[in-house]
Amino acid sequence: MKNLRLVIFFALLAFVIVCFSSAIFAAAKNIGGGNITYTSKAMGSVTFKHSKHPDAVKNNCSACHPKIFKQKKFSSGVKMAAINKGKYCGVCHNGKKAFSVKTCAKCHKK
């Protein structure tokens, strides 16, 4: 009888641990609008990750929304030429607030 209780106890414990950890992983994935991938054949696609952006993690959404980006993917007219002129991603990726637009491979992955 004692053994059966122990088995049930540990089964429940394992279940609770699994539930909690998947909730934590789901929360990390779901920061802001998640991941957004811009495709570029020439340079390799660019994945913007909300979860890797300190402002998004700190719930400071207004660092980007709505002034720099609309809250709908591919709706803000993000273009490389404008990024190079310090707009969109280039507002921060200027080598001061974050790595520079000149380090292409930090954004473009083949």
Residue numbers at the binding site for ligand HEC (CB under 6 A): 31-33, 36, 38, 40, 42-43, 46, 48-50, 52-56, 59, 61, 63-65, 68-76, 78-81, 83, 88-89, 91-93, 97-99, 101-104, 106-108
State the nearest-atom distance from the C-beta of 22 to ligand HEC, in Å: 21
Q: State in angstroms the smallest separation of the CB of 20 from ligand HEC.
A: 22
For residue 64, give every residue at least 6 positions away whose Cβ sits within 8 Å of its Cβ, in sequence order, or none: 53, 55, 56
Nearby residues of 33 by Cβ (< 8 Å), 6 or more positions away: 50, 71, 73
> Which residues, 6 or more positions from 57, have their beta carbon under 8 angstroms from its beta carbon?
31, 50, 51
**For ligand HEC, which is the closer residue by CB, 10 or 79?**
79
